[in-house]
């Protein structure tokens, strides 16, 4: 019985050991399965994280692509707008070009009609034949020649029992025909007491017939060529005011202002009474009213005029305005009181004023200069020669009123001088009239 029980115990122990071993095996298998499951779960998590990262990268790439596409869309829209704007500008430029071509054709047609009118049936002036011109000038005799310019020679003659000056176009003259047409168009349409009078023309041969000016040019009289007497200061002030008056008349021409472009003493003529008249308007230019002021100017392809008298701003930029003539006027006015060449004249006068030696710059042939008034005259002239157009004074409101004041001063002086009793001057001649005591009395009379 004991042996049997022992065997049953041993059998039960073996069974329990076997079950324990099976349980341990199952436990070990479960642990391995759990470890594998955990590893698989970790791998799945990693895969999920990688997939999430890839999805985020894809989303970001998609957003970047969308943003880039939007930018390209904006650029494309801007490019299209730029192209449309360029097309509009091109259309506007093409339209302007067409308009310019139409205007050019119209102007060309008008010039052709004007030339036809000049050559055939223009009644604004007397038309002379070349035979009449040749007879009047005795076959263009050298003995009758009174001048020579870029346009051609000038002859004194008589037509219709009237003394005249005939300007003849030289065959090789550059721009001569254009200047002839310009001068005829200007002088036949305007009249002013201080503008030379065009009496007639011979269009076929480019001959211009003017009133004869007995005392020649202002340049000749200032330099006393031919031994002519010196011009008194009162006469010089009067001539200056007359020139400014005629220039203002040109600048106020309707419908378009007229710029002379070649104002100088050689182009100022004097009649028998020394009344001055502007001549040589062949270089004159009609400026549209919208660009006739001193701010916006009319651009030309080439400058014209005479060296030393040309507006520096016009010479540099080609921009023409009415104040281009003001510079030339300033140089001319300085020559009127100094009788000196134009080269460097403004510099010399400025230095003389600064050093207090201005009186030495005045024409020495005039003995009774009113120095203070001449100084004011010179300062006004220097203002006219400012390098910048906007710094030059206005002709109508500044320059002409001052020149008229000086002219009136000279007239009053001449009247006071003429009123001096003959007995006061007979014993001492001219010295008595120009003595300081008498001059002081004349000045008091003139000022009053």
Q: Which residues are catalytic?
A: 262
Concatenating the DSSP letter of every residue in 234-259 gives HHHHHHHHHHHHHHHHHHT-SSS-EE
Would you state the structure tokens that stand for residue 85, as one six-digit string?
């704007």
DSSP one-letter string for 360-410 = GGS-TT-S---HHHHHHHHHHHHHHT-SSGGGSPPIIIIIHHHHHHHHHHH
Angle in degrees, 0-180, between the axes of helices 176-187 and 2-116, rounded to the nearest 10: 70
Cα–Cα dist 352/223, whole Å: 21
Give the count of alpha carbons within 13 A of 425, CB side only. Answer: 14
Q: Nearest-5° angle of CA 205, CA 209, CA 215?
A: 135
CA distance 395 to 326: 7
Q: Is 339 helix (H, G, I), strand (E, B) or coil?
A: coil
Interacting residues of 241 by C-beta distance below 8 A, sequence separation 6+: 400, 403, 404, 406, 407
Show the tokens assigned to 435: 């003595």
- Is residue 65 reached through a cis peptide bond, with omega within 30 degrees of 0 on the bond before it? no
Alpha helices in 385-426 (DSSP H): 400-418, 422-426
Length of the chain (residues): 448
Rounded Cα distance between 296 and 270, Å, is 35
Asked if residues 262 and 331 have their Cβ atoms less than 8 Å apart, the reply is no
Six-digit token string for 203: 């269009």
Under 8 Å between Cβ of 302 and 273: no
- Residues 53 and 366: their CA atoms lie apart, in Å, by 106
Q: What is the dihedral of CA 81, 85, 91, 97, to 10 degrees?
A: -160
Beta carbons of 208 and 166 less than 8 angstroms apart: yes
Cβ atoms of 337 and 265 closer than 8 Å? no
- Tokens encoding 58: 């894809």
Asked if 209 contacts 279 with a C-beta cutoff of 8 angstroms, the reply is no
Antiparallel, parallel or unpaired: β 258-259 and 198-202: unpaired
Q: Say how far apart CA 84 and CA 78 lie, in whole Å.
A: 10
């Amino acid at each position: 019985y004991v042996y049997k029980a022992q065997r049953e115990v041993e059998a039960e122990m073996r069974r329990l050991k076997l079950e324990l071993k099976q349980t341990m095996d199952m436990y070990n298998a479960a642990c391995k399965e759990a470890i594998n499951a955990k590893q698989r779960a970790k791998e799945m998590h990693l895969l999920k994280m990688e997939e999430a990262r890839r999805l985020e990268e894809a989303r970001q790439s998609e957003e970047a692509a969308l943003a880039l596409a939007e930018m390209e869309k904006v650029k494309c829209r801007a490019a299209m707008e730029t192209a449309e704007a360029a097309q509009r500008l091109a259309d506007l430029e093409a339209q302007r070009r067409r308009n310019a071509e139409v205007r050019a054709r119209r102007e060309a047609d008008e010039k052709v009609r004007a030339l036809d009118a000049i050559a055939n049936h223009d009644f604004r002036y007397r038309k002379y034949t070349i035979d009449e011109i040749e007879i009047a000038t005795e076959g263009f005799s050298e003995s009758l020649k009174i001048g020579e310019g870029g346009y051609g020679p000038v002859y004194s003659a008589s037509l219709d029992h009237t003394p005249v000056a005939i300007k003849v176009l030289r065959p090789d003259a550059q721009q001569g025909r254009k200047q002839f047409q310009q001068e005829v168009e200007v002088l036949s349409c305007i009249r002013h007491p201080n503008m030379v009078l065009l009496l007639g023309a011979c269009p076929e041969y480019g001959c211009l017939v003017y009133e004869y000016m007995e005392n020649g040019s202002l340049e000749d009289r200032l330099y006393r060529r031919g031994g002519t007497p010196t011009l008194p200061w009162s006469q010089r002030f009067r001539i200056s005011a007359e020139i400014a008056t005629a220039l203002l008349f040109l600048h106020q021409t309707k419908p378009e202002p007229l710029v002379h472009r070649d104002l100088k003493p050689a182009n100022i003529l004097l009649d028998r009474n020394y009344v001055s008249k502007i001549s040589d308007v062949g270089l004159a230019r009609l400026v549209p009213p919208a660009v006739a002021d001193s701010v916006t100017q009319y651009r030309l392809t080439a400058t014209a005029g005479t060296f030393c008298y040309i507006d520096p701003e016009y010479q540099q930029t080609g921009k023409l305005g009415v104040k281009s003539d003001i510079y030339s006027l300033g140089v001319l006015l300085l020559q009127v009181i100094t009788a000196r060449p134009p080269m460097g004249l403004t510099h010399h006068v400025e230095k003389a004023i600064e050093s207090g030696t201005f009186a030495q710059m005045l024409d020495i042939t005039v003995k009774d200069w009113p120095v203070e008034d001449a100084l004011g005259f010179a300062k006004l002239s220097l203002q006219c020669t400012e390098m910048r157009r906007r710094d030059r004074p206005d002709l109508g409101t500044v320059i002409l009123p001052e020149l008229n004041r000086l002219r009136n001063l000279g007239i009053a002086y001449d009247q006071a001088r003429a009123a001096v009793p003959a007995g006061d001057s007979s014993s001492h001649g001219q010295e008595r009239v120009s003595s300081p005591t008498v001059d002081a009395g004349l000045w008091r009379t003139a000022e009053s």
